[in-house]
A = this chain, B = another copy of it.
């Protein structure tokens, strides 16, 4: 026989398993698993996903053998239920439901009560002694089948139902008597003949085949396709179909149907939470006509059923180790489980559930014993129910980036209705920085600052932003740009602050002169209010209510576990004392990237000084201008050093091309001219001269310091003088001077030498010893390729993966918005799984990073390695950084917790794979995650620091191992490893003889 397509479940045994989501779909896998662990599940069978894939691939044909398999399973089902489909006396009714490997709620079709026809409806009426129930079931089936399977107009049938109720003078469906329902059935069947030209199918097999095909086809229904696109579900290609015996919650007051969660999905409280309707079918719950009861009512009304359900709750949560979302039906006092799946939850609940699952039992021992005594809870579960359900490692693995983000970013209040949102929707851009913001539109940075000073909340709307806009960007509540991608200037700067930002909103047509913007036809002017949802990229008219969640206690508990488990250090990208403090609050252990250039835009005075430097025509003039900047920079560094209180601070020397700083307009040039005495025309000429075709690949980074060493000298002086002042104030300080855009070891050697010369002279004069490091960013492919040579000069590497991605892939992040979406969108070219500026391109850029680290450590084993690109806050990239053996990652303050989490998850994965938690570094003698960096001059200090860390690391790893051994899978894995090792040893012994 060919491939197996159909999997039976029933009578306590299922052919499938819970792990077979890909094969059976989520619902099918859940039903199989519940059956296998002995829960009361109505019997049925699942038609596996490959059948659906074949159906679509072959032009709507069933695969060979499917027909036969379904017939055989149907017979098996009839035998299990002791009823026959279409039986005239006591017919079997089945539901036909979709179920894909990933949840797509309500997107595909369901047909209930299948098996009814003109004959069997009478049998059902007789067997249940409830004609109204039977005719209502038939009415529902006719209606569903006609619309879902055959595609008749839904509204016409609804109208007929409505007309019947009007005719009878009643309002509720449940009030229609049996006779009325029978008449409705006749009307529905007449309509069917009129429309289809054939009578309603009476053959249950024909009904079943039609229903299965309808479910198959619904995979390609518009709403399903749209849902998958929106949710980025692009790795599954069909649905399973579940054919299952119907059970009825609408068979009287001893029946009912409900939905429940094993814990409260909104608070995470350990409480059995749910709702039910007595005497109702599932679709009645959906219809929302009757108000459901709290789950506790079930305890009052049917205590035994409730106790049974409590046992089910315990069994499923223990079995899956996860909070479950359950559907059940009670038919005449008998409980049936219809679905189980991991339950969706709020961010707060996610943390509380994870922490409580790992530290507290699900229920009291007394309660568990009580359920066990009633035989509802098998022994195996009753002992587990009074212990923590999962390990701390599992708790950590359960938390996602989204959970953390949702904890910190403001959101549009849940109180605002979907309809209201739709009505206010203006456009969609690229969701650059999550969180929501609202305010009045301004079109310039200056206006933003002015308005903000007046206490107005403003949204800065620009075609794009540039470094000059930084003040206004900071003043604004949110930023919206027409162009750019997730790593455009606006996005990068805003992300650093965690400020809501939407970029690349192509629908904007901004008219700066008229101070207005046309958004998809809606004209908005300065002062008009809008709301941005940075998490989704949506732009709304008006100021919507926002709310900002507070992190719960369980967040802090879990993050403490995280910090104990991870090997990778997490630093932050911060340019100011405020950002530094914020980052420390978020758990940062140092600054991995302090960009000095942002400081130049902080005030008009500084801006003029840097501009003066740039228009200088001689070294002397430049030095004079730089001298004006020196005190500003020194104060900035002092503030940051004090805020970081001895944590390492990596300061990058000036990086952007000079033209970014020069006056662009004649007005600005005039202002500069008045200060410097340089004629306006010359200033403009100089500005034009600085224009570059490809500034990204131009005169920037350390190239500036090769050309103008005095820039480096001023910056190093500011850093070291600030450090000296710190020392004097008794504040520990650990500067790491970082030279950007290196392409060659010799280039770096020249600049490192200059740096040390300046620094050491200051220290000597001040008679102070400040340890400092000099290292480089690895952000050009050439630096990575020649890393062995570069590492002989650099004391640390920091991978600047933004630029490294740009150069390795030949992608300008400012311009990629025009075509990169096509590259990432699966429905178009679908060349990359993710935006490579968001999640590190591991095959390409990652290969260079790996090469760079291997070569760098090969020639300098002590080399400290980190990452300071945007990727340092992306979980997948953080895991990669752990795997390639970096010492730290650095990211914007708000992403620090995300990085900490991912680092711990990576360490756990290592241990589970049998690694050491730091797999890419050789075990002994390597400094991993040193807390203390030391200057070249103090080798002894460095060695002892290394030892300390090595000890700390080893201790931490041992702890992980100890904690992890609790997990069953790990225990098994260790067993296997031990078995293999023993065997290996024996073989070796034998060989030696």
Contacts and interface: CB of A to CB of B under 8 A. Distances in A.
A699 B815 contact: yes
Contacts of A747: 823, 829, 831
Which of A694, A746, A780 has the largest count of B CB atoms less than 10 A from its CB? A694
Which of A695, A698, A706, A845 has the largest count of B CB atoms less than 10 A from its CB? A698
Nearest to A746: B831
A841 interface: yes
A807 interface: yes
B706 A822 contact: yes
Interface in A773-803: 779-782, 785-786, 803
A809 B780 contact: yes
Contact of A818 (B699, B743, B810, B811): B699
B822 A707 contact: yes
A207 interface: no
A782 B803 contact: no
A333 B338 CA distance: 123
A741 interface: yes
Contact of A697 (B703, B811, B841, B848): B811
A75 interface: no
Given A744-B831, A747-B831, A699 B819 contact: yes
Contacts of A830: 746
B808 A780 contact: yes
Interface string A837-850: 00001011101100
Interface in A746-789: 746-747, 750, 779-782, 785-786
A844 B694 contact: no
A696 interface: yes
Contacts of A746: 829-831
Contacts of A818: 698-699, 707
Contacts of A812: 692-698
A697 B810 contact: yes
A812 B700 CA distance: 11
A822 B702 CA distance: 13
B744 A832 contact: yes
Contacts of A814: 692-694
Contact of A743 (B750, B844, B848): B844
A743 B809 contact: yes
Which of A703, A815, A818 has the largest count of B CB atoms less than 10 A from its CB? A815
Contacts of A823: 706, 747
A626 to B, nearest CB: 19
A393 to B, nearest CB: 34
A814 B696 CA distance: 12
A847 B788 CA distance: 13
A798 to B, nearest CB: 16
B810 A706 contact: no
A829 B699 contact: no
Contacts of A847: 785-786
A806 interface: yes
Contacts of A698: 812, 815-816, 818
A785 B819 contact: no
A808 B829 contact: no
B692 A844 contact: no
A694 B696 CA distance: 7
A808 B744 CA distance: 11
Interface in A357-378: none
Interface in A819-873: 819, 822-823, 829-832, 841, 843-845, 847-848
Nearest to A820: B703
Contacts of A811: 697, 743
A845 to B, nearest CB: 7
A744 B701 CA distance: 28
Nearest to A509: B685
Contacts of A786: 843-844, 847
A694 B813 CA distance: 9
Interface string A673-699: 000000000000000000011111111
B815 A694 contact: yes
A698 B785 CA distance: 24
A747 to B, nearest CB: 5
A814 B819 CA distance: 24
A823 B751 CA distance: 13
A819 B703 contact: yes
Interface string A730-753: 000000000001011011001000
A591 B818 CA distance: 33
Contacts of A781: 781, 807-810, 844, 848
A25 to B, nearest CB: 28
Contacts of A816: 698
A540 to B, nearest CB: 26
A727 to B, nearest CB: 34
Contacts of A706: 819, 822-823, 829, 831
A694 B695 CA distance: 7
Which of A699, A803, A814 has the largest count of B CB atoms less than 10 A from its CB? A699
Which of A693, A744, A746, A845 has the largest count of B CB atoms less than 10 A from its CB? A693
Nearest to A751: B829
Contacts of A844: 743-744, 781-782, 785-786
A809 B694 CA distance: 13
A16 to B, nearest CB: 34
Given A693-B815, A699-B818, A706-B819, A809 B831 contact: no
Contact of A782 (B701, B810, B815, B819): B810
A779 B847 CA distance: 17
Interface in A82-117: none
B829 A750 contact: yes
A322 to B, nearest CB: 35
A244 B707 CA distance: 47
Contacts of A848: 781, 785
A742 to B, nearest CB: 10
Nearest to A742: B810
B694 A780 contact: no
A764 to B, nearest CB: 25
Given A782-B841, A819-B707, A810 B741 contact: yes
A675 to B, nearest CB: 25
CB-CB nearest 9 A-B residue pairs = A697-B812, A694-B812, A782-B844, A698-B815, A693-B814, A780-B810, A781-B781, A692-B815, A694-B696
Given A695-B812, A744-B832, 11 more contacts: A692-B814, A697-B806, A697-B807, A697-B815, A706-B823, A743-B809, A747-B831, A781-B810, A781-B844, A785-B843, A786-B843
5 contacts: A696-B696, A741-B810, A781-B781, A782-B841, A785-B808
